[in-house]
């Protein structure tokens, strides 16, 4: 991947530069940028996390020291990238953005490290995907702000120490369990992001409707929030879809009936689940008799990517108590059967769909 340019404090995270920095990163599309908060104080929800990070930012500023390294984990779309872009903006420092999946070798990481300005932030998304060699290269960079570079090969090889300017790594991961202990231990601050409440998502929908200059009534905003699986990114996507629907089929304003019709057209049900969520539950019910079933087997049967199921589908179903994880695999709960309109199996019996 080509190295991305460094952003200055003034324009972080201005639309133009974030887009350049992100390259083809679909997460930073134009209107996502328009809706993304610029300061932690503009973020809705995650108050405890924002408060703790705010204290760390304030202390770093007062001591004129770089902020300690921060690890953010949690399901996709909950605000990890948003925190990582707001923090340097609040600190008034520059930001570089990299992705664990694109850093195949230490030489891919080196330019980010040597370009890091004093006190700046290096955001590494999907940090659990860093190969071992890159991870090990990062240890001295994070701990002592130096890298060890080996020059030459065989008997003539020698190691050169290179000093770096003190900087801050913000790592984001959907799978903190995959991170090695030595890497995890190098982050002084570790925060887990939780799903958002209905009230918080409603506030996000109302604020973002205003940013998109759409008139929305309270009941419609609440309906969209309710159908967003606890996730701001999904709330934003649903809002944009409802806006399009209204522009095409109605006046462009969003009233409850419009929101309901638009969401129904997307196949979103009363719990806010989409077709893939239901297919996952139906597969466990029909093929695996309600479980327990291994997630790999479920993915194969559904012809879906394992990562998609583990990262995107399962967290919300687990939180909604529709599915449980047992040592022997995933299992549907009575609530899931009720939602599917199916009868839980008697011992060894197939479920009957009404």
Identity of the residue, 81 or 246, whose beta carbon is nearer to ligand ADP in the bound complex:
81
Q: Count of residues for the chain?
A: 354
Other beta carbons less than 10 A from residue 176's beta carbon: 17
3-state secondary structure 3-33: CCCCECHHHCCCHHHHHHHHCCCHHHCHHHH
Q: How many residues bind ligand ADP (CB under 6 A)?
A: 21
Work out whether 232 is an interface residue with ligand ADP (CB under 6 A). Answer: yes
Minimum distance of ligand ADP from residue 45's CB (angstroms): 5
Binding segment for ligand ADP (CB under 6 A), chosen from 39-47, 114-122, 177-185, 300-308, is 39-47
Binding segment for ligand ADP (CB under 6 A), chosen from 97-105, 229-237, 262-270, 310-318, is 229-237
Work out whether 291 is an interface residue with ligand ADP (CB under 6 A). Answer: no
Backbone angles phi, psi at 7, to 5 degrees: -100, 145
DSSP assignment of 139-190 equals HHHHHHSEEEEEES-GGG-EEEEEE----EEEEEES-GGGS-HHHHHT-SEE
Work out whether 44 is an interface residue with ligand ADP (CB under 6 A). Answer: yes
Chain residue whose CB lies nearest ligand ADP: 79
Calculate ∠ Cα 95-42-176, nearest 5°.
55
Calculate ∠ Cα 148-153-155, nearest 5°.
105
**What is the DSSP pairing of strand 158-163 with strand 168-173?**
unpaired
Work out whether 100 is an interface residue with ligand ADP (CB under 6 A). Answer: no
Identity of the residue, 15 or 149, whose beta carbon is nearer to ligand ADP in the bound complex:
15
Looking at 7, 36, 223, 332, which residue binds ligand ADP (CB under 6 A)? 36
Work out whether 46 is an interface residue with ligand ADP (CB under 6 A). Answer: yes
Measured between its terminal Cα atoms, the distance across the chain in Å is 52
Binding segment for ligand ADP (CB under 6 A), chosen from 232-240, 243-251, 281-289, 313-321, is 232-240
Site residues for ligand ADP, 157-186, by CB under 6 A, read: 172
Work out whether 99 is an interface residue with ligand ADP (CB under 6 A). Answer: no
Identity of the residue, 13 or 106, whose beta carbon is nearer to ligand ADP in the bound complex:
13
Sign of the torsion angle spanned by Cα atoms 167, 39, 193, 60: positive
Work out whether 82 is an interface residue with ligand ADP (CB under 6 A). Answer: yes
CA 48 to mean position of chain CA atoms: 18
209, 215 contact by CB (below 8 A):
yes
Catalytic residue numbers? 80-81, 125, 174, 233
Work out whether 45 is an interface residue with ligand ADP (CB under 6 A). Answer: yes
Binding segment for ligand ADP (CB under 6 A), chosen from 44-52, 86-94, 160-168, 269-277, is 44-52
User: What does the alpha-carbon distance between residue 101 and residue 82 come to, in Å, rounded to a whole number?
Assistant: 19
Binding segment for ligand ADP (CB under 6 A), chosen from 4-12, 33-41, 152-160, 296-304, is 33-41
User: What does the alpha-carbon distance between residue 209 and residue 205 come to, in Å, rounded to a whole number?
Assistant: 6
Query: What number of H helices and E strands is found in the chain?
Result: 16, 9
Looking at 81, 96, 246, 320, which residue binds ligand ADP (CB under 6 A)? 81
Identity of the residue, 192 or 249, whose beta carbon is nearer to ligand ADP in the bound complex:
192
Minimum distance of ligand ADP from residue 241's CB (angstroms): 15
Residues that bind ligand ADP (CB under 6 A): 27, 32, 35-37, 43-46, 76-82, 172, 204, 232-233, 236
């Amino acid at each position: 991947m080509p190295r991305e340019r460094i952003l200055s404090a003034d324009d972080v995270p201005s639309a133009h530069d974030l887009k350049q920095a992100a390259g083809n990163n679909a997460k930073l599309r134009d209107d996502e940028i328009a809706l993304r908060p610029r300061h932690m104080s503009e973020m809705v929800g995650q108050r405890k996390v924002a408060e703790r990070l705010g204290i760390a930012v304030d202390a770093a500023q007062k001591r004129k020291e770089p902020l300690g390294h921060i690890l953010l984990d949690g399901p996709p779309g909950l605000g990890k990238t948003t925190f990582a872009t707001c923090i340097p903006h609040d600190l008034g420092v520059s930001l570089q953005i990299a992705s664990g999946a694109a850093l195949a070798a230490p030489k891919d990481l080196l330019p980010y490290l040597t370009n890091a300005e004093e006190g700046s932030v290096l955001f590494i998304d999907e940090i659990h995907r860093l190969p071992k060699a890159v991870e090990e290269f990062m240890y001295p960079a994070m701990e002592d702000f130096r890298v060890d570079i080996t020059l030459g090969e065989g008997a003539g090889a020698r190691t050169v120490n290179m000093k770096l300017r003190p900087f801050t790594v913000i790592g984001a991961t959907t799978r903190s369990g995959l991170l090695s202990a030595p890497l995890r231990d190098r982050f002084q601050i570790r925060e887990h992001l939780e799903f958002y409440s209905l009230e918080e998502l409603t506030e996000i929908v109302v604020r973002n409707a205003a940013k998109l200059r759409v008139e929305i009534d309270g009941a419609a905003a609440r309906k969209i929030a309710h159908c967003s699986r606890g996730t701001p990114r999904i709330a934003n996507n649903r809002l944009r879809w409802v806006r399009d629907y209204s522009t095409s089929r109605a006046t462009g304003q969003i009233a409850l009936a419009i929101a309901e019709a638009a969401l129904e057209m997307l196949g979103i049900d009363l719990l806010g689940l989409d077709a893939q969520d239901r297919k996952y539950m139906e597969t466990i019910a029909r093929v695996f008799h309600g479980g327990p079933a291994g997630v790999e087997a479920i993915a194969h049967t559904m012809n879906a990517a394992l990562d998609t199921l583990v990262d995107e589908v399962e967290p919300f179903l687990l939180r909604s108590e529709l599915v449980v994880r047992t040592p022997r695999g995933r299992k549907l709960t009575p609530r899931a059967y009720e939602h599917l309109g199916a009868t839980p199996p008697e011992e060894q019996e197939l479920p009957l769909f009404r």
